């Protein structure tokens, strides 16, 4: 278990002090795949670097299984980093060493005898699906393959915790998916706790069970992924969950009254057939203005913004029809605007 309490970090720079993190409190349980999401500059990298003490917290502390990592001696801290390992956005492989040698690096650092290290590294190559690349150099590999080698290297010392700082941000969607799948397998098969730093909601959605939203160095929301997704509270969370929503409102103009927001809270119904059946049964052909729905464990989460053609009567019928679907919340535009925090009654702050 990782307990981060009252953690603050400020950097003193020529142009003044930067408060990168302010009073962070998080608990990450064993076996979690814990997402930390935020926009660029939110402090994500600083936070993850505080977890393995690459960055010394200005205040507060980080405990791993009850041990305050800040109190460790230099030697103990280096030992700790064999148990809390890290992968990076830019993979950071040794370019002058082949894949096997790259994976052996942490084993060399722990003075494992060479034959044993070769054996272990070879096993790990197979674990990450790169058994045929032992002698290849990183420059000969694709980004996804390089990240696999980096993951194997991070696993070499049998860590308890794997820190991933934007580990898929340099990869295309397909490769991202493959790497995330690998990380999930590692989490499940090896029982390694994973902390995933990302600016992409889709990454959190795909593999995390818990998530914290970081904005300007503070945690603005934290909880189970499904909960946070179906009912985002903080404005930063909404921006991340529904990236194109606020744009939708502004461009609507005169059709304000006819806008309906559907919130899928783990609905069994697929979105497409729902609208198709509404068109058939109510003779209302809704326009999809924006949709940010996602499927998690076979259930639909997220939101969809519909424009209902016609007058108030059509709107009422559409709302009635859509409300009859399980785990779907229906809101007409005025409530919606309120939820977005655009009126004085917005619930945050």
Partner 1 sequence: MDYFARYFSEKKIADAMVLIREDFFQATLSTLYITLMSTLFAILIGLPLGIILVTGDAKGIRPLPRWLMSILNWIINLLRSAPFIILIVLLMPFTRMMLGSAVGDGGVIVPLVIAAFPFVARLVEGSLRELNPNIIEMAQSSGANTWQTVFHVMLPESVPSLITSFTTAITTILGYTAMSGAVGGGGLGNLAIAQGQQRSNHAVLLAALVILVILVQIIQTFGTWLARKSDKRLKN
Ligand X SMILES: Nc1ncnc2c1ncn2[C@@H]1O[C@H](COP(=O)(O)OP(=O)(O)O)[C@@H](O)[C@H]1O
| Residue 23: φ, ψ to 5° | 45, 60
Nearer to ligand X, 41 or 266 (CB): 41
Nearer to ligand X, 54 or 94 (CB): 54
79 binds, among Mg ion, partner 1, ligand X, none (CB under 5 to 8 A by kind): partner 1
Q: For the CB of residue 336, give the shortest distance to Mg ion in the complex, in Å.
A: 33
DSSP per-residue codes, 217-239: TEEEEEEEHHHHHHS--SHHHHH
Which listed residue (46, 98, 168, 187) binds partner 1 by CB under 8 A?
98
Residues in the site for ligand X, rule: CB under 6 A? 11, 13, 18, 20, 38, 40-46
Rounded to whole angstroms, the Cα distance separating 110 from 104 reads: 10
Task: Report, in angstroms and rounded to the nearest whole number, the Rg of the chain calculated over CA atoms.
Answer: 24
Q: Residue 118 interacts with partner 1 (CB under 8 A)? A: no
Nearer to partner 1, 48 or 289 (CB): 48
Q: Residue 145 interacts with Mg ion (CB under 5 A)? A: no
Residues contacting partner 1: total by CB under 8 A: 31
Binding window for Mg ion (CB under 5 A); candidates: 12-20, 38-46, 73-81, 286-294: 38-46
18 binds, among Mg ion, partner 1, ligand X, none (CB under 5 to 8 A by kind): ligand X
Structure tokens at 294: 């996602």
| Long-range contact pairs involving 176-183 (C-beta distance under 8 Å, separation at least 24) | 176/203, 177/206, 178/144, 179/144, 179/147, 179/148, 179/151, 180/206, 180/207, 182/128, 182/129, 182/148, 182/151, 183/33, 183/151, 183/207
Q: Residue 52 interacts with Mg ion (CB under 5 A)? A: no
Nearer to ligand X, 91 or 336 (CB): 91
Nearer to ligand X, 42 or 225 (CB): 42
Nearer to partner 1, 109 or 337 (CB): 109
> Which whole-number Å values give the CA distances from 305 to 114, 115, 247, 248, 329, in the listed order?
60, 60, 11, 8, 12
Q: Quote the Cα angle for 169-171-176, to 5°.
A: 90
Classify the C-alpha dihedral 329-333-335-336 as positive or negative: positive
Which listed residue (28, 45, 214, 267) binds Mg ion by CB under 5 A?
45
Q: For the CB of residue 94, give the shortest distance to ligand X in the complex, in Å.
A: 24
Q: Residue 205 interacts with partner 1 (CB under 8 A)? A: no
Which listed residue (79, 123, 178, 255) binds partner 1 by CB under 8 A?
79
Beta strands in 14-123 (DSSP E): 16-28, 33-37, 59-64, 67-68, 84-88
Structure tokens at 302: 């997220």
Rounded to whole angstroms, the Cα distance separating 316 from 308 reads: 10
Site string for partner 1, 249-288 (x = CB under 8 A): ----------------------------------------
Which listed residue (92, 175, 226, 338) binds partner 1 by CB under 8 A?
92
Binding site residues, Mg ion, CB under 5 A: 45
């Amino acid at each position: 278990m990782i307990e981060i309490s009252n953690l603050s970090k400020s950097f003193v720079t020529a142009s003044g002090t930067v408060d990168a993190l302010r009073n962070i409190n998080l608990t990450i349980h064993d076996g979690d795949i814990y997402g930390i999401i935020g926009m660029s500059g939110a402090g994500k990298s600083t936070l993850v670097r505080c977890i393995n003490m690459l960055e010394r917290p200005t205040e507060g502390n980080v405990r791993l299984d009850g041990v305050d990592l800040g109190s460790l001696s230099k030697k103990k801290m280096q030992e700790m980093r064999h148990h809390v390992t890290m992968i990076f956005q830019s993979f950071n492989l040794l370019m002058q060493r082949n894949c096997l040698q790259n994976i052996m690096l942490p084993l060399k650092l722990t003075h494992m005898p060479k034959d044993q290290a070769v054996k272990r590294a070879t096993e790990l190559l197979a674990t990450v699906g790169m058994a045929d690349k032992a002698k290849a150099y990183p420059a000969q590999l694709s980004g996804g393959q390089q990240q696999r080698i980096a993951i194997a290297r991070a696993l070499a010392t049998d860590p308890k915790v794997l820190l991933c700082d934007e580990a898929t941000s340099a990869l295309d969607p397909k490769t991202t998916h493959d790497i995330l799948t690998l990380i999930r397998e590692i989490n499940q098969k090896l029982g390694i706790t994973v902390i995933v730093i990302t600016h992409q909601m889709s990454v959190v959605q795909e593999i995390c069970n818990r998530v914290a939203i970081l904005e300007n160095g503070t945690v603005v929301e934290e909880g189970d992924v499904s909960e946070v997704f179906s009912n985002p509270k903080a404005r930063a969370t909404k921006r991340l969950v529904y990236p194109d929503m606020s744009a939708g409102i502004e461009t609507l103009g005169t059709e304000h009254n006819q806008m309906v927001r559907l919130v899928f809270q783990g609905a069994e119904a697929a979105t497409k057939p729902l609208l198709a059946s509404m068109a058939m049964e109510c003779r209302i052909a809704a326009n999809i203005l924006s949709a940010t729905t996602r499927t998690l464990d076979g259930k639909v989460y997220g939101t969809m913004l519909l424009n209902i053609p016609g007058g108030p009567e059509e709107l009422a019928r559409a709302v009635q029809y859509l409300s009859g679907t399980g785990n779907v919340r229906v809101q007409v535009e005025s409530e919606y605007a309120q939820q977005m925090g655009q009126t004085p009654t917005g619930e945050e702050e």
